[in-house]
Amino acid sequence: MYLVTVSGNLLIVRAILSDPHLHTPMYFFLANLSLVDICFTSTTIPKMLVNIQTESQAISYAGCLTQIYFFILFGVLDNFLLTVMAYDRFVAICHPLHYTVIMNPRLCVRLVLVSWVISVLNSLLQSLMVLRLTFCAHLDIPHFFCELNQVVLLACSDTFPNDMVMFCAALLLFCGPLAGILYSYSKIVSSIRAISSTQGKYKAFSTCASHLSVVSLFYCTCLGVYFSSSATHNSHSSAVASVMYSVVTPMLNPFIYSLRNKDMTGALKRLFWKS
């Protein structure tokens, strides 16, 4: 699954870079999403594979903090890129005549840079908050990676400040982008309903079907993790749900975008033909 994830997303990036027809804002964001997905899975899966091969589940304190930092970084960045892509589809469908003016290259680069800056600062804050905690000896983290919430629960010192920071971050950096995506798609649906022809409606919907599939998969699995863990307090069910959004979703993204997108399918065919 890890090899499929890495090779599939690298193939998407290679096809976008090599095909001039795909040098548009939509595919610029998709290339960034694919790169982030590779980094996202590479934060946890290689260590898990090493644990399986060596039959040792140990991780150092520094390694655990590093894993927390990069997992939060790329997870939040994934979230922001999906929101930016929803905004891109909103402009393309609701304001098609002004699309090239609004979604100019400078704005696209700025949106990605702002997403990176916010993600880095949030991840740094969360990691520094973990540094202030004290832990007892011989800790067993009930997860396949150093998940922030599970690590904080094992602390021997006061975790109230950490809980507040995590709550505020979830509210601003998870619920905020989700609200933006829902707003964008509410406007998109209204615009599609106003189109008179059935063919026009289908064409407009097909441009955002792939993105909507990825968004649904990502957010449903993320919400499933936290609802299941808060409702049952079962670490096993939380770990299984985490596999869905940290492994399965990044693996399926290249298939969703290549199978449901004629431009991407054509670019991949041309790439294989050149090879």
pLDDT score of 245: 78
pLDDT score of 80: 96
Q: What CATH number is attached to the domain comprising 127?
A: 1.20.1070.10
Q: What is the pTM of this model?
A: 0.91
Torsion of the alpha carbons at 41, 44, 46 and 51, rounded to the nearest 10: -150
Q: How far apart are CA 202 and CA 235, in angstroms?
A: 43
pLDDT tens across the length of the chain (275 residues)? 999 999 999 999 998 998 888 899 999 999 999 999 999 999 999 999 999 999 888 999 999 999 999 999 999 999 999 999 999 999 999 999 999 999 999 999 999 999 999 999 999 999 999 999 998 877 888 888 998 988 998 999 899 999 999 999 989 999 999 999 999 999 999 998 888 888 878 877 877 888 888 888 888 877 766 666 555 556 666 677 778 778 888 998 888 887 667 778 888 888 787 76
pLDDT score of 246: 83
For the record, the structure tokens of 132 come out as 């202030």
Residue 135 in 3-state DSSP?
A: strand
Query: Rounded to 5 degrees, what angle do the CA atoms 199, 204, 21 make?
Result: 110
Domain count, the chain: 1
Q: How far apart are CA 176 and CA 141, in angstroms?
A: 30
For the record, the structure tokens of 225 come out as 């993790």
Q: How far apart are CA 106 and CA 111, in angstroms?
A: 9
For the record, the structure tokens of 176 come out as 């905020």
Amino acid residing at 167? F
Q: How far apart are CA 222 and CA 147, in angstroms?
A: 13
pLDDT score of 271: 79
| Backbone torsions φ then ψ of 123, nearest 5 degrees | -65, -40
CA proximity to 214, closest of 82, 39, 25, 84: 82
How far is residue 19 from each of residues 23, 28, 53, 108, 209, measured CA to CA in Å?
7, 12, 40, 19, 22
For residue 10, give its domain range: 2-274
CA proximity to 111, closest of 100, 119, 122: 119
* 218 Cβ neighbours under 8 A, 6+ residues apart: 78, 79, 82, 245, 249
Q: How far apart are CA 179 and CA 177, in angstroms?
A: 5
